[in-house]
Amino acid sequence: MSGSAAAGRRALRLPGAIGRSVLGFLASVGRVTLFALRALGHMLRPPFYWREFGQAVMQIGWFSLPVVGLTAVFTGGALALQIYAGGNRFGAEAIVPQIVALGMSRELGPVLGGLMVAARVASSIAAEIGTMKVTEQIDALTTLSTDPMKYLTVPRLLAATLTVPVLVGVGDSIGIMGGWLVGVTQLGFNSATYLGNTVDFLEPWDIGSGLVKGAAFGFIVALMGCYHGMNSGRGAQGVGAATKSAVVSSSVLIFAANYLLTGMFFSA
């Protein structure tokens, strides 16, 4: 009888582990959702720390421009080569300008730009806020009657939501330029024809949808950085874990949000 009971307990271990994992995941989703709602609520109420907002704009927007630009130009060039190689099998090499422009503005520009910002900014925010928590600077803010959510989170969320679409727009332009450069110098396209096909093919919503995605991705990056920083464990190990979690979670959420937004914008 005891043997059958032990076998039954062993059989229930896997479902129990799966159930605990699902419950833990749902609890994490709930905590992040409540954190986001609190941050949005604080955005609508004064005071607003403009100095922190300006520093966040520089940190997230201006200092991220080089890595986003380099990523975009090489992506556009590689995309042109791949499309030309694939189209050459069917005699459709002429579609290179159109597909490069469409791919950069709708998908690759926003997603790769968001991932580069996530790698650079989410980790930085999580490490900064996590270190402030470890060194009890957040407790000091509370002692001085300064809400840490309003002082640390709101400026970064707003700055990322406003600056990442600008980075995406710049990245789209640089990526299309990279495709044009490869097309003209390596693939034998006429420069005026390439640019004309690009301008004629793109529609306003192709660009606008990418900018909307950029705003959503920027919000996700800052939200994950602030959330994991605020909930960082003690010590250097806790800050390191928060930094890693911020980058991983923001990257995964960017892919998930990209799928959902693409389905909303371009579903049949």
How confident is the prediction along the chain (268 residues), in pLDDT tens digits per residue? 455 656 556 666 767 678 777 887 788 888 888 888 888 888 888 888 889 999 999 999 899 999 999 999 999 999 999 888 887 777 777 788 888 999 999 999 999 999 999 999 999 999 999 888 888 888 888 888 888 888 889 999 999 999 999 999 999 999 999 999 998 898 888 888 888 888 888 888 889 999 999 999 999 999 999 999 888 877 778 888 889 999 999 999 999 999 999 999 887 5
Predicted pLDDT of residue 3: 55
For residue 43, count other CB atoms closer than 10 A to its CB. Answer: 15
Query: Rounded to whole angstroms, what are the CA distances from 133 to 71, 235, 236?
Result: 33, 10, 11
Report pLDDT for 261.
Answer: 93
Instruction: Please give the pLDDT value at position 66.
Output: 92
In sign, the C-alpha dihedral spanning 74, 79, 85, 88 is negative
- Cβ burial, residue 214 (10 Å; 0-12/13-18/19+): buried
* pLDDT attached to residue 35: 87
> What is the C-alpha separation between 160 and 224, in angstroms, rounded?
12
Residue with tokens 């969320």: 157
pLDDT at 1: 47
Res 2: pLDDT:
55
pLDDT in the model for residue 248: 93
The pair of structure tokens assigned to 212 is: 């909307």
Would you state the structure tokens that stand for residue 215, as one six-digit string?
């705003």
Identify the pLDDT of residue 258.
94
Q: Tell me the C-alpha distance between 82 and 179, whole Å.
A: 11
Residue of 208, 250, 256, 262 whose CA lies nearest to 116: 250
Quote the pLDDT of residue 78. Answer: 92
